[in-house]
Amino acid sequence: MTAAVVGDTAVPPPDWEGLRAAAREACARAYAPYSGYPVGAAALVSDGRLVTGCNVENAGYGVTLCAECGLIGDLVNGGGGRLLAFTCCNKAGERIMPCGRCRQLLWEHGGAALLVDTPDGVWAMDQVLPQAFGADDLNR
């Protein structure tokens, strides 16, 4: 995989093994006492930062936070930027797909070109969430 260009800066290809390791570390910190299904997520940001998140459950299941929610919070709290590469895993370290709500969050902060590490290989976000609704749709 070749380097991406963000603005005027060439960004090296993602270190997928490093991202997967960071997701596994985040998964180990998940709070999942109800489902027993911890999830960890990690992503590379356009400025070179690594952001992570883990799921945080709640007895009122509807207010449970997915790992991707924590990752986006880490991104925004750290100064923002664009996500370039993303992965998430379960407690066995297996790559898993984000739920629909989280795909929308990833689209908002990474766009069509965000690389997503899926169980079937690396896909661009526009393959993961085709015909996505985004900020441009609000301007129509």
Q: Are 44 and 50 in contact (CB under 8 A)?
A: yes
Tokens encoding 97: 């797909």
What tokens appear for 16 in the block? 């997928």
Active-site residue set: 68
